[in-house]
């Protein structure tokens, strides 16, 4: 792993879908590292968002990695479709995968990089058996389903415990630690300091009154203030 800046992944959940391609391209132009796509089914979470078709449109609009977060039940049914649509990374939730090992293998077999997300109430220990198989662990810092929620402060301790657990479990190829929910210029340095390497931000970027470019500069400066991370 190399020391570098924390990565920023704008979430299109907060973008203007009437001009989605332009919003994705603007994010790339102002220095985004990944583009984050939130997929919700109205069952695992109360909201309903998008499918593989929109993911394919995002893929066409950017050269950045497309990071798909599946907040859906039975994600194994749709993993091949999202991979075919151009997802570079696919993250599923631990809470909906009784056969998590099989699902993780399925993501890699589909040609994407596998990740697993855990909700605020899900313990770090739940990842012990699969941590060594993952490229990414997503720690939700809000309860999933809607953008613009307030950051859950207890997530900082959880991030620290996750780092300790990966050491304790002897994971050689450490997965990247991502956070999602309530990330802005105030919370960014806190999560980076606690071990986060990739920060998903939606409303703090696309909802900023002074525009995406200024918001990205603000968030990047806040991340840099916390120092460099290993990615």
Tokens of 184: 């802005």
- The answer to whether residue 167 is catalytic is no
The residue whose two tokens read 């040609």 is: 111
CB 123 within 8 A of CB 162: no
CA atoms 149, 97, 50, 7: torsion sign: positive
Dihedral class, residue 31 (left if φ above 0, else alpha if ψ from -120 to 50, else beta)? left
Phi-psi region of 189 (alpha: psi -120 to 50; beta: other; left: phi over 0): alpha
Task: Assign a CATH topology to domain 3-226.
Answer: TIM Barrel (3.20.20)
pLDDT in tens, 167-215: 999 999 999 999 999 999 999 999 999 999 999 999 999 999 999 999 9
Task: Determine the Cα–Cα distance for residues 4 and 102; give it in Å rounded to an integer.
Answer: 32
User: Can you spell out the DSSP letters for 110-127?
Assistant: TTSEEEEEE-TTS-GGGG
* 156 token code pair: 């900082």
pLDDT on residue 1: 47
Where do the structural domains in the chain lie, given as residue ranges?
3-226
Model confidence, pTM: 0.95
Give Cα separations from 133 to 24, 47, 107 (angstroms): 30, 30, 11
The residue annotated as part of the active site, out of 33, 38, 67, 135, is 38
Active site residue 184: no
Residue stretches of the chain with pLDDT short of 50:
1
Instruction: Single out the catalytic residue among 41, 67, 180, 184.
Output: 180
Q: Which residues, in sequence order, are CB contacts of 221 under 8 Å at separation 6+?
A: 185
């Amino acid at each position: 792993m190399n020391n570098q800046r924390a990565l920023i992944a704008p979430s299109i959940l907060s973008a203007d879908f009437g001009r989605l391609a332009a919003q994705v391209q603007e994010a790339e132009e102002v220095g985004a590292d990944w583009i984050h796509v939130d997929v919700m089914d109205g069952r695992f979470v109360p909201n309903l968002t998008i499918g593989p078709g929109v993911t394919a449109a995002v893929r066409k609009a950017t050269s950045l990695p497309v990071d798909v977060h599946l907040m859906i039940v039975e994600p194994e049914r749709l993993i091949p479709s999202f991979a075919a649509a151009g997802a570079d990374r696919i993250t599923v939730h631990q809470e909906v995968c009784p056969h998590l090992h099989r699902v993780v293998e399925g993501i890699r077999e589909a040609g994407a990089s596998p990740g697993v997300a855990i909700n605020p109430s899900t313990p770090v220990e739940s990842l012990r058996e699969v941590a060594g198989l993952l490229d990414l662990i997503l720690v939700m810092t809000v309860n999933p389903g809607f953008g613009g929620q307030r950051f859950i402060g207890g997530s900082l301790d959880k991030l620290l415990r996750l780092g300790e657990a990966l050491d304790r479990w002897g994971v050689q190829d450490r997965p990247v630690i991502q956070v999602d929910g309530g990330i802005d210029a105030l919370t960014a340095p806190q999560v980076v300091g606690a071990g986060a390497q990739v920060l998903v931000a939606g409303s703090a970027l696309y909802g900023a009154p002074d525009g995406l470019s200024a918001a990205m500069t603000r968030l990047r400066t806040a991340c840099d203030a916390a120092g460099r991370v290993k990615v």
